[in-house]
């Protein structure tokens, strides 16, 4: 007999004895799965509502075990998502702390050698530092920071007027998607003005986009230069071997 079965038997026996003492008492057998289901639902009522809407018209809602499994999985993922956020914030803060300890020349060297020292590129390191500054500076509440650093970084690119609109629309939240933030940036100009009528050239928005593309091009050019340098180093290391093999063949 399993431990779980033993527990159920003891619970049933206890209920039976109580009924013997009081014949009017109702025998109730507790189902631990149902209790867990109610507990998970009470902790996150919005999840139950979402499940009802997503699976409306199907038989899944009649299967308590499947609903319980979805709720448990959601709970586990929410925890891991929060842990991921805490991790990249900690990395960003560590990089900022290191930046303060180094001279400008030393930090420039560090940026050039980022991929040799850390498991990410300089572009990623820049994003992580920017997110950490935004959170620690209060622009993004820590608990509202998304679990995806790519999405969190998009929020840091919002201007104050755009950020205000994002707050009004309820977009500053942990589960916001990158698509939602990008859509906001397309709909709301950097100064918070309404988008221009169709066919009208929005020079301010184009200048902002060009600046972003220029920044991205600089990062890509920097990464490409690092790749080229590494290839040259590898070729230099391999050249004696290649020459030796050629002499052997000759």
Residues 180 and 206 in one domain: yes
The whole domain housing 69 covers 8-75
Residue 233 counted as domain residue: no
Cα distance between residue 135 and residue 149, in whole Å: 12
Please report where in the chains the tokens 């999985």 appear, as a residue: 73
How far out from the chain centre does Cα 69 lie? 22
Residues 152 and 208 in one domain: yes
Query: In terms of C-beta distances under 8 Å and separation of at least 24 residues, what long-range contacts does 245-248 make, across chains too?
Result: none
List CB contacts of 146: < 8 A, sequence separation 6 or more. Answer: 85, 152, 155, 173, 174, 175, 176
End position of a domain, from candidates 44, 75, 106: 75
φ, ψ for residue 42 (rounded to 5)?
A: -70, -35
End position of a domain, from candidates 75, 105, 123: 75
Tens-digit pLDDT profile for residues 128-184: 999 999 999 999 999 999 999 999 999 999 999 999 999 999 999 999 999 999 999
Please report where in the chains the tokens 């184009």 appear, as a residue: 206
Tell me which residue of 94, 174, 86, 178 sits closest to 129, measured CA to CA. 94
Residues 57 and 105 in one domain: no
Least confident of 50-59, 100-109, 215-224: 215-224
69/36: higher pLDDT: 69
125 touches 118 (CB < 8 A): yes
31 touches 11 (CB < 8 A): no
Reading phi first (left if > 0) and then psi (alpha if -120 to 50, else beta), residue 29 is in beta
Residue 32 counted as domain residue: yes
Tens-digit pLDDT profile for residues 11-35: 544 554 444 444 444 444 444 545 5
> How high is the pLDDT of residue 5?
45
Q: What is the pTM of this model?
A: 0.55
End position of a domain, from candidates 41, 75, 109: 75
195 touches 202 (CB < 8 A): yes
Cα distance between residue 192 and residue 30, in whole Å: 57
Residues 164 and 115 in one domain: yes
Largest Cα separation within the chain, whole Å, is 104
Residues 171 and 147 in one domain: yes
Residues 64 and 121 in one domain: no
Residue 40 counted as domain residue: yes
> How high is the pLDDT of residue 1?
47
Number of domains in the chain: 2
């Amino acid at each position: 007999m399993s431990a779980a079965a033993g527990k159920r038997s003891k619970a049933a026996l206890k209920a039976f004895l109580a009924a013997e003492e009081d014949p009017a008492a109702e025998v109730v057998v507790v189902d631990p799965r149902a209790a867990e289901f109610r507990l998970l639902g009470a902790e996150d009522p919005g999840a139950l509502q979402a499940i009802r809407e997503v699976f409306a018209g199907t038989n899944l809602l009649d299967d308590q075990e499947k609903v319980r499994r979805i709720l448990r999985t959601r709970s586990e993922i929410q925890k891991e998502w929060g842990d991921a956020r805490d991790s990249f914030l900690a990395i960003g803060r560590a990089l900022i702390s290191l930046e303060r300890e180094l001279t400008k020349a030393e930090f420039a060297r560090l940026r050039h050698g980022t991929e040799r020292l850390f498991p990410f590129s300089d572009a990623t390191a820049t994003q992580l530092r920017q997110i950490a500054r935004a959170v620690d500076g209060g622009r993004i509440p820590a608990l509202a920071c998304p679990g995806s650093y790519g999405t969190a970084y998009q929020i840091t690119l919002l201007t104050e007027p755009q950020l205000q609109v994002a707050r009004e629309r309820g977009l500053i939240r942990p589960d916001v998607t990158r698509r939602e933030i990008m859509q906001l940036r397309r709909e709301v100009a950097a100064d918070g003005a309404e988008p221009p009528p169709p066919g009208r050239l929005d020079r301010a928005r184009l200048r902002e986009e060009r600046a972003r593309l220029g920044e991205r091009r600089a990062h890509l050019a920097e990464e490409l230069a690092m790749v080229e340098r590494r290839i040259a180093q590898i070729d230099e290391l391999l050249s004696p071997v290649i020459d030796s093999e050629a002499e052997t063949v000759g």
